[in-house]
A and B are shown apart, each in its own frame.
Chain A
Amino acid sequence: MTQVSDTEPLGAPLRIAFDYTRSLGPSLSRFATALREHRVLGVRGSDGRVHTPPPEYDPVTAALLTDFVDVGPGGEVVTWSWQPKPLDGQPLTRPFAWALIRLDGADTPMLHAVDAPREAMRTGMRVRVRWSPEPTGGIRDIACFEPEESAGASPTPDPAEVTMITTPIELAYWHTASPEESRFLRGITEGRLLGQRCPVCGKVYIPPRGACPVDGVPTTDEVALPDRGTVTTFCVVNVPYLGQRLTPPYVAAYVLLDGADIAFQHLILECPADEVRMGMRVEAVWRPREEWGPTLENIDHFRPTGEPDAPYDVYAQHL
């Protein structure tokens, strides 16, 4: 999936997905529980208007609202728009209308989808709730609205108290590396470690930077760096966590390559964790060449070289 060309910055997909768990509190829980019973609740605000979905706090006075009233399940379309190409997660997968719908007994409209042919959509049309055959809690227990005249039979309600809802959020992005980092990534795809020097301060950065953090200008002159260096500092990871690749204990260390002015974090293996020291000299152990890609993970880990430790003064300014 990774996009590789000789000159363009590297790009790759980035997907973020999590099922958020939302506790509702007393008011929203009441609304969600009623939906489970195939009832829609509104709440009366300080100005006398009935709002649905019921806001927890009054839009005028900020007071907690508790005067719940039943509204709907029928109502009138106040405004609508047409969605010809539904997006992921929207209520319907075929073209549908979004609408603000004023439910009977409510004064302000609510947002939802209307399942109707486009020709049938008009402001002021009567619609009613179509209940979801498989309630999951919350607003999605309303599958959508449908024209009142063509409304079908309702599924049987499955009442249960709803105090939590789960909201899956999944988003897809295209992530790109900076031009400078892309040069580094192309180098490491070939087993080379390419840093760059800041034209102002002269410091060698690996990976190179779109902007030197001190001078705010892109790093420029390329500097080939060896695959050995010094451990500046480290921690021993004993804690297991989700998605961990290695079995604890292992050492996560800052490694300062010879000739570089900044350390990066990597693993130290091939020696007991309790023998790793600040100042220890280490060298890269590369993965098999056929596994290489545009990532520092081409280096599987670093291991001790057996050289004498670097004196403290050598790395003291990198702590």
Chain B
Amino acid sequence: MKQPAAVLGTGQTHHRSKRLDVSMGGLCREAIDRALADAEVDWSDIDAVVLGKAPDLFEGVMMPELALADALGATGKPLLRVHTAGSVGGSTALVAASLVQAGVHRRVLAVAFEKQSESNAMWALSIGIPFSMPVHAGAGGYFAPHIRSYIRRSGAPEHVGAMVAVKDRRNGALNQYAHLRQSDITLESVQASAMLWDPVRYDETCPSSDGACAMVIGDASTAGGRNAAWIHATAMRTEPTMFAGRDHVNPQAGRDAAAALWKEAGITDPAAEVDAAEIYVPFSWFEPMWLENLGFADVGDGWKMTEAGDTAIGGRLPVNPSGGVLSSNPIGASGMLRFAEAAMQVMGRAGDHQVDGARTALGHAYGGGSQFFAMWVVRSTKP
């Protein structure tokens, strides 16, 4: 049966559009070295390494974990490579947790990275596949129609999307590692930014970042007696990209994952019992959409929490105190950053973006066409 597991330490890089000062190994090590220091362990304490990353075409390296084995400190150890699209950073943390929960290892290093400046994500994702209809809408064009559906269904007022952008970018300004740090952003400035994929504006869109994140996850013998983020529940669910009758706004896979997650964590009223939530929001409207999908709000009411300020730091349910994906988006690492921030919050190590008294936090990631979901609940107390 599941052995208790906890996050012992986290680390991340400074995220930038181009980290030209480092190699891929150097980028990973910037995050790893911080995580090892935060966990107060060294390489001899690490039993196994799990690496997550989105498509290999981004960096032009097939299974880069092989070439990076020395940089990852994995040589001579077990090394797993996870790839579950945009949710991969979250899935990677869950696989690392499984290694401990299954009683196989005592301490596992989880790493996720993306060095998008090696190529061009738009290129890698829009290679013309024979016979397929060329996507006429670019990257955001996939999600924008579903956002329109959400607005139509929920009757949400137009400014809600802009409100999320203002909140997350201002939170990002409190985070020394964030790519975008915009303390002076306003509702007016967001609304004045270019409409890229109507209804999605420029300022409501995530950046493209180079970055990495790492975590050390340990068992009870290594976590006992120290400040750690105990893993109380984990969930992963998948559904196909396109099928007849699919709900693209509120996908069943996300709802099922959340239901399983809350049940395992013993949470019956998530909005009341969760102190901070790091939710994968690459376009601002996904905050209200995922609030509903996760069960923090009733269907159609997610935007009301955002509009009421409930999701700001100091609100009823602070969402993305780190600044979220809207402030930093190294794709393969973005999910792990959510999971790491949740851990940092309950360990009280979130610095200027700390939510006061956070003891229970959610880390969430999704990928593909809103079809892969990974999430966990961490707490400051042992299960």
Contact = CB atoms under 8 A, between A and B. Distances in A.
Answer yes or no: A and B touching, Cβ < 8 Å.
yes
Interface of A: 2, 10-14, 16, 18, 20-28, 55-62, 64, 163-164, 167, 169, 175, 177, 181, 185, 198, 201, 203-205, 212-214, 232-239, 241-246, 249-250, 252-254, 261-262, 264-267, 273, 278, 294-297, 316-319
B208 to A, nearest CB: 13
Contacts of A262: 242-244
Contacts of A242: 120, 122-123
A241 B25 CA distance: 31
A213 B149 contact: no
Contacts of A60: 75
26 contacts: A14-B130, A18-B60, A18-B120, A18-B124, A21-B117, A21-B118, A21-B119, A22-B23, A23-B19, A57-B25, A61-B43, A177-B130, A181-B131, A213-B242, A235-B137, A235-B145, A235-B198, A238-B196, A239-B138, A239-B140, A243-B126, A252-B137, A267-B136, A319-B146, A319-B152, A319-B247
B177 interface: no
A233 B244 contact: no
Contacts, number: 187
A18 B123 contact: yes
A224 to B, nearest CB: 18
A59 B75 CA distance: 6
A79 to B, nearest CB: 21
A62 B73 contact: yes
Nearest to B144: A235
Q: Which of B60, B72, B240 has the most CB of A within 10 A?
A: B60
Contacts of B71: 56-57, 62
A265 B245 CA distance: 16
A252 B117 contact: no
Given A22-B23, A23-B117, A13 B198 contact: no
A13 B198 CA distance: 35
Nearest to A243: B126
B134 interface: yes
Contacts of B152: 233, 278, 319
Which DSSP category, helix, strand, loop or mixed, fits chain B's interface? loop
B199 A235 contact: yes
Contacts of A266: 133, 136
Contact of A12 (B130, B148, B194, B240): B130
B146 A265 contact: no
A294 B137 CA distance: 22
B135 A265 contact: yes
Contact of B249 (A27, A201, A241, A319): A319
Interface residues of B, number: 63
Nearest to A20: B60
Nearest to A10: B131
Contacts of A254: 145
A66 B57 CA distance: 31
B200 interface: yes
B133 A233 contact: no
A18 B119 contact: yes
B241 interface: yes
Contacts of B123: 18, 242
Contacts of B20: 23, 163-164
Contacts of A236: 195, 197-198
A311 to B, nearest CB: 13
Contacts of A10: 130-131
A26 B29 CA distance: 13
Contacts of A2: 130
Given A252-B137, A252-B141, A319-B149, A175 B23 contact: no
Interface in B230-265: 240-245, 247-249
Contact of A238 (B153, B198, B249): B198
Given A18-B124, A21-B118, A261-B244, 8 more contacts: A62-B72, A167-B60, A234-B148, A238-B198, A266-B136, A273-B198, A319-B149, A319-B249
B146 A233 contact: yes
B272 interface: no
A62 B240 contact: no
A237 B138 contact: yes
Contacts of B146: 233, 319
B1 interface: no
